[in-house]
Amino acid sequence: MENPNKKLIKYVPEINGTLRGHMIKVPTVIRKATGIKVFGKRLKSFAFTTDVAVIKNINADAVFAVYPFTPQSVITETLVNASDVPIFCGVGGGLTMGKRVINLALNAEFTGALGVVVNSPTSNEVIEAMSEAIDIPIVVTVVSERDDIQKRIDAGVSILNVSAGSNTAQLVKKIRSEFPDFPVMATGGKNDDTIEETISAGANAICYTPPSSGELFKGTMEKYRHM
């Protein structure tokens, strides 16, 4: 007689194509995260990239499209149109400040972005004005223990993105101890151990940096040379 207490292992069917089977898969350890629900969509993995080819060939739940240049609406529109998953796009806060950030955030919402991301130097006044202007989540990057998290939350931030290098897991743990229910995502690195450490510290979602097209081509070219 079968044991009724035996846990059933759920089989998940997977469909792959011959040509599209070669894709980037985020580390499976990220599935251990609780995820963050945004407008009904549960997001655990964010791909940190603006490469359209990578975006079309990665199985991340969402895209974290932040880049080290002045944000441009044409970039946001291109990424939203190209992506099959939600886009969280950078709207400035570092070199780009003030009313321009608010206008870029408003444009991002109209374009179809699911959320906007502002850099650490962004003032709470700008975040407050932005939260009054848009109806999509505002993600702010936290880089050190010196950031006043309570003031960020009071200003209208929806999600904290912790990016503190080797100190990321420790900072996530500190934030989680003070704000047990607030949504936190964090960089996890490319190593399963560091990702799991960050999740254990309290991160709800992980921002994963996929290999670049150049890195992927390196392996492909090696195979071609031996054919």
Q: Which domains does the chain have, with CATH numbers?
A: 28-210 (3.20.20.60)
Q: Which pLDDT value is given to residue 222?
A: 74
Q: How far apart are CA 94 and CA 37, in angstroms?
A: 27
Q: Which of 133, 93, 126 is CA-nearest to residue 109?
A: 133
Question: Which three-class secondary structure state does DSSP give residue 37?
Answer: strand
Q: Which of 140, 96, 98 is CA-nearest to residue 116?
A: 140
The pairing of strands 36-38 and 41-43 is antiparallel
Tokens for 17, please give them: 């194509």
Residue with the two structure tokens 């006044």 = 125
Question: pLDDT tens track of the chain, all 227 residues?
Answer: 455 555 566 788 888 777 666 789 999 999 999 999 999 999 999 999 999 999 999 999 999 999 999 999 999 999 999 999 999 999 987 666 788 999 999 999 999 999 999 998 899 999 999 999 999 999 999 999 999 999 999 999 999 999 999 999 999 999 999 999 999 999 987 689 999 999 999 999 999 999 887 887 777 777 777 77
Question: Which three-class secondary structure state does DSSP give residue 176?
Answer: helix
Q: Tell me the DSSP string of 59-119.
A: --SEEEE--SS---HHHHHHHHHH-SS-EEEE--SSSS-THHHHHHHHHHHHHT-SEEEE-
Q: Which pLDDT value is given to residue 17?
A: 76
Q: How far apart are CA 128 and CA 73, in angstroms?
A: 21
Tokens for 93, please give them: 């806060």
Q: How far apart are CA 164 and CA 145, in angstroms?
A: 9
Question: Which residues, at least 6 apart from 64, have a Cβ–Cβ distance to it below 8 Å?
Answer: 46, 47, 48, 49, 88, 117, 161, 207
N-terminal to C-terminal alpha carbon distance within the chain? 55
Q: Do the beta carbons of residue 82 and residue 52 sit within 8 Å?
A: yes
Q: Which pLDDT value is given to residue 15?
A: 81
For helices 99-111 and 124-133, the axis angle rounded to 10 degrees is 30
CA 214 to chain centre: 22
Question: Which residues, at least 6 apart from 214, have a Cβ–Cβ distance to it below 8 Å?
Answer: none
Q: Which pLDDT value is given to residue 154?
A: 97
